[in-house]
Amino acid sequence: MARRRQIYEGKAKVLFEGPEPGTLVQYFKDDTSAFSNKKKGTITGKGVLNNRISEYLMLRIGEMGIPTHFVRRLNMREQLVREVEIIPLEIVVRNVAAGSLAQRFGLTEGTPLPRCIVEHYFKSDTLDDPLVSEEHITAFGWATPQDLDEIMSLTLRINDFLSGLFLGIGLRLVDFRVEFGRLYTNDDMQIVLADEISPDNCRLWDIKTGERMDKDRFRRDLGNVEEAYQEVARRLGILPEGGPRDMKGPATMQ
Ligand code: UDP
């Protein structure tokens, strides 16, 4: 099969031109990075697991009426998605103090927040994704006030839904990051959930033991990173039958 045209290569994923106009193929790598790319590594089988986990979560979120870019999973490491115009914001939702929020306000990690807090970061590797306010976003034209209202409403629904879903499998959704894109159809524009939802962009703590089941295991050298991602997939009931050790990748990538 002919190699497809690569559109973009990020830290954990590659985007290829899709088979039909308006589609892209999202390929999940095992590569990982943290602290603005200062720490890099590989988590064996992560791409396979995140492809599955993100497929599962995007489908469930879609079923509750939230539009997403996800179309269907193609193989172990690839999924077909709709091409959207990415809004250059990382939307972070926090239910419990952790990571940069705990640091910024001197809070002990694990302190429940009085209510969930939604933050916006400007997507820019060169600037290290700075925290921005609505003022910056609308003044610089990254999103309109209407876009932001829609993003906030979708984000809060996603948080409620995912918090319950993870609670059901013994995991606390401490915080997570989402991205949205604009999907244009004829004269219409719709804001849809894009990118991925996986332990790469969520903090998930075991309810009973408090154990971290996410990328913090890599960031903080806690060990058993693959096992944690695998356990999340297992609890969701979607562990790939052949196991996640797909080192070859799909035929089109070789
Ligand atoms: N996050 C992410 N990508 C980023 C920054 C953060 O997916 O570039 C996620 C991260 O996994 C966590 C949440 O957003 O679930 C909040 O991250 P935080 O701001 O605490 O930053 P971190 O401590 O991860 O640097």
Mutate to test the pocket of ligand 1, among 43, 92, 111, 196 (most ligand atoms within 8 A of CB): 92
105 shares a domain with 23:
no
Residue 2 pLDDT class (50, 70, 90 cuts): low
- Please write the tens of the pLDDT for every residue from 55-76: 999 999 999 999 999 999 999 9
E strand residue ranges, 23-165: 23-28, 31-34, 39-42, 70-73, 78-82, 85-86, 89-96, 112-122, 131-132
Give a yes or no: residue 28 inside a domain.
yes
111 shares a domain with 30:
no
Answer yes or no: is the C-beta of 215 below 6 A from any ligand 1 atom: yes
Distance 251 CA to ligand 1 centre (A): 33
Q: What pLDDT is recorded for position 243?
A: 62
Count of domains observed in the chain:
2
90 shares a domain with 156:
yes
109 shares a domain with 41:
no
Q: Give the pLDDT mean for 200-211.
A: 98
61 shares a domain with 47:
yes
Does residue 148 sit in helix, strand or coil? helix
Residue 90 pLDDT class (50, 70, 90 cuts): very high
Which amino acid, residue 218?
A: F
Name the residue at shortest CA distance from atom 11 of ligand 1: 201
Give a yes or no: residue 110 inside a domain.
yes
199 shares a domain with 100:
yes
Q: What pLDDT is recorded for position 3?
A: 72
- Asked whether the predicted pLDDT for residue 33 surpasses 70, the reply is yes
pTM of the model: 0.94
Q: What pLDDT is recorded for position 122?
A: 98
Q: What pLDDT is recorded for position 242?
A: 62
Give dist(CA 218, CA 225) in Å, integer: 6
Q: Could you tell me the residue range of the domain that residue 33 belongs to?
A: 4-83+225-253
- Please write the tens of the pLDDT for every residue from 104-162: 999 999 999 999 999 999 999 999 999 999 999 999 999 999 999 999 999 999 999 99
- Asked whether the predicted pLDDT for residue 245 surpasses 70, the reply is no
Q: What pLDDT is recorded for position 6?
A: 98
With b for 16 or more beta-carbon neighbours within 10 A and e for fewer, the 5-28 pattern comes to eeeeeeebbbbbebeeeeebbbbb
Which residues neighbour 20 within 8 Å (Cβ) at sequence distance 6 or greater? Answer: none
Give dist(CA 198, CA 187) in Å, integer: 33
64 shares a domain with 150:
no
CATH of the domain at 116: 3.30.470.20
Residue 67 CB-density burial (10 A; 0-12 exposed, 13-18 middle, 19+ buried): middle
